[in-house]
Structure 1
Amino acid sequence: MAAPDRDGELRRTFPALPYRSSAEDGFAATWWGTAWVTALEEGALDAARLARGRGYAERGKVDAITVTPGLLLAYVQGSRPRPYRVQVRLRTLDDTDWERFLNAAVERPGHIAALLDKELPHSLADCGVPLLPGPGDLAPRCSCPDSGHPCKHAAALCYQAARLLDADPFVLLLLRGRGERTLLDTLSRRNAAHAARAARDRGPTPLPGVRAAETLAARTPPQLPAPLPPPPHPEQPPAYPAAPGGPDPFALDQLATDAAARAHALLTTGRDPVGGLTLWQDAVRLAAARPGSGLTAGTRALYASLAEATGRDTAELARAVAAWRQGGRDGLDVLEQAWDPPAGRFDRARPLLLAADLPAFRPWRNRLTHPQGHVQLRLGRTGLWYAYESEPDRDDWWPRGTPDLDPVGALTGLGASGDL
């Protein structure tokens, strides 16, 4: 599956849901989530498989869930070390059904407000459009050898999907074919047009005074010129000459180039990409922006200045730069923060490594260490695995390779399996 930061309007990936106690009443909390579960259970051919799938879902055996139009996709851990790939398909709505749904949504102002509050009104679901699935509408497919309909792995995915629908009914609307941003933009335009028609039908309310059109007709100001388009990329700053007692030209060039890049991003996207960074994080970012992997004469002075300003040494900064180049702000967090991950993805990593003919890694918090002490995997808070290397019997870990959702994939490029 794609990494979470690659998701878009028609693709949403949700991290694995936490453990759920079987003592809780009902698997869904909302009426639409309950209707989803009812469609699953009434369309199933074997109650025993449903019960086992519900147990899998309660114990957190369903990994991250990806939702696209007409499709749910996830990996579910079964009785074997390698998880199964599970798909559940649901028919998308055609243009006629969407037109009927949008018209019904703007008929009452409360409909749009309810959707913004992550609620699905009964009246909107009963507008003649089959938003919620019925028995037999959910079409599962699993890589396991079980031919049941559904198998326990597909049932587990459906039960977890009910929890996603509870939290956000736009997940259901995405399954039916439309993304949240597109729907809200369309509803906003239609609601404005609906309000304008209603106001036109009521007619203007007569008020005392002089009509503005009569007052301004003879002196209508000219239209403002169209704003200039943003430049395609930030330009290079001018060369700064060295002057005795003046600032370092290399530092000025570095700061001016960075300021231009930030200003261009703010102009084109409306967001400052580094506005929320701490002093240390921003220093690491600036150092990592210099090309190359070694310290040249120019970058050595930059490293020394940044390390001194943040109260660190250049060795700490060089290690942090390697982490930033590996995974940005998240990669730096993985380097500096050990944490206790919930059950699920971390617990399944060791069987996956064993299945790839790798030795048993030693766990500690969010880290798995090779028994020979020269390779380590660290789980980030976004679900990605980061590889680290050290000299054997030394606690001197450096980031290596590219982060991956698969712990075995994160080790790619660090040496052959026999060397690990």
Structure 2
Amino acid sequence: MSARRGTVPVRGYAVTPWSRALIDVVEGRNTGDGGVPVVDSTRITKARRYFRDRHVHQLTIRPGTVTSSVQGSQLDPFEVIVSMRTVDTPTVVTLLSARDGVTEVMSLARGEQPRTLGELILPTESADVAGDCTCPDDSGRCIHVLSTMFEVAAEIDRSPTTLLTVMGTSLPELLDAIEDLSPTRPPAPAESGRTESEGTGSAEPAGTPPRVDFFGTGATAPSLPSPPRMSPLTDLDGTALRAALRASGIAPGDIAEAIDDLTDLYDRIIED
């Protein structure tokens, strides 16, 4: 009974595609240098422990801005401000329409994280995320900024629309932009009676530009998507992992720290 009472559930973050992609940018893993993080592993490990031990308080997520108060090594907490390079909603919808992904927006209401929409709204480089903290570390990626972004990732795991807010848009704004975009599509003229049976070879009226479908049109196809970085420690069944650690002789109260150590070790392995 005492062992069960001392067991503390391990907190997770970046367990869904959108939040994992965001954290990869925050840590600098997608900067084109082979996935090596800009942030050193020691800071990441400390920030994970801050997240796990709930050192982040008063988390506030507004369009393009995240603020928090993080209890650190000093008596008074440190104040954190993270600024995001926001997206332009009409541009996102235009690009989404060009890739036949408008219907993805409605899947957000079902708690899904559609890939095409994510590729258009997620930050793509470390410079898109600017961190500021009242602690002495002025690197922009101190453990307080990192732990704050881990909390944001956990919120995105719970509610994908959180990413929209972080990036300066919202589901209603996307839907309004889609509605505004619809009238711009030119309808077929009523007086045109040409059909495929009349030898035009197309049901479209003369003068209508061909639709870009990337199949046999000679148009440049979009670049292949980059597969998300996989982490076995977040993809494994957490219950089975904790059971394996207990079977290896680790005390129940030390399991969370052991998982942190394993995650740190895995990061060092893939960096090399």
- Please tell me the TM-score bracket, short chain as reference: 0.5 to 0.7
Which residue number corresponds to residue 160 of structure 2? 169
Equivalent residue for 2:106, pick from 90, 100, 113: 113
Which residue number corresponds to residue 36 of structure 1? 22
Higher Rg:
1
Q: Deviations over 1:29-60 (max 9, x none)?
A: 21111111212223543221111111111111
Higher relative contact order (CA 8 A, sep 6+): 2
Runs of 4+ in 1 over 6 A off after TM superposition: none
Q: Deviations over 1:49-94 (max 9, x none)?
A: 1111111111111113212222111111112232111011111124
1:46·1:149 contact (CA, 8 Å) conserved in 2? no
Q: Deviations over 1:157-187 (max 9, x none)?
A: 0111101111222222222222333223333
Distance 1:94 1:150, change over 3 A: same
Secondary structure of the structure 2 residue equivalent to 1:75? strand
Which residue number corresponds to residue 80 of structure 1? 74
Which residue number corresponds to residue 126 of structure 2? 135
1:180 matches 2:171: yes
Shift of 1:119: 1.8
Counterpart CA distance in 1 for 2:94 and 2:52 is 37
Equivalent residue for 2:147, pick from 126, 135, 156: 156
Number of aligned residue pairs? 175
1:27 matches 2:13: yes
1:100 matches 2:100: no
Secondary structure of the structure 2 residue equivalent to 1:173? helix
2:80·2:144 contact (CA, 8 Å) conserved in 1? yes
Distance 1:146 1:34, change over 3 A: same
Shift of 1:120: 2.1
Q: Mind listing any 5+ residue stretches in structure 2 that lack a counterpart?
A: 1-7, 29-36, 194-272
Which residue number corresponds to residue 53 of structure 1? 47
Alignment of 1:11-410 (within 5 A): 21-22=9-10, 27-42=13-28, 44-94=38-88, 97-101=91-95, 103=97, 107-108=100-101, 110-126=103-119, 129=120, 131-187=122-178, 189-190=179-180
Secondary structure of the structure 1 residue equivalent to 2:48? helix
Q: Residue 17 of structure 2 aligns to which amino acid in structure 1?
A: W
Secondary structure of the structure 2 residue equivalent to 1:55? helix
Counterpart CA distance in 2 for 1:197 and 1:169 is 35
1:45·1:148 contact (CA, 8 Å) conserved in 2? no
Q: Deviations over 1:122-160 (max 9, x none)?
A: 13334xx35234334321100111234411111100111
Distance 1:169 1:196, change over 3 A: farther
2:96·2:102 contact (CA, 8 Å) conserved in 1? no
Counterpart CA distance in 2 for 1:116 and 1:195 is 26
Distance 1:114 1:191, change over 3 A: farther
2:105·2:174 contact (CA, 8 Å) conserved in 1? no
Q: Mind listing any 5+ residue stretches in structure 1 that lack a counterpart?
A: 1-19, 204-420
Q: Percent same amino acid among aligned pairs?
A: 29
Q: What TM-score does the superposition give when structure 1 sets the normalisation length? A: 0.37
Secondary structure of the structure 1 residue equivalent to 2:59? strand
Counterpart CA distance in 2 for 1:184 and 1:96 is 10
Shift of 1:100: 2.8
Counterpart CA distance in 1 for 2:107 and 2:89 is 23
Secondary structure of the structure 1 residue equivalent to 2:82? strand
Q: What TM-score does the superposition give when structure 2 sets the normalisation length? A: 0.54
Distance 1:100 1:56, change over 3 A: same
1:89·1:139 contact (CA, 8 Å) conserved in 2? yes
Secondary structure of the structure 1 residue equivalent to 2:123? coil
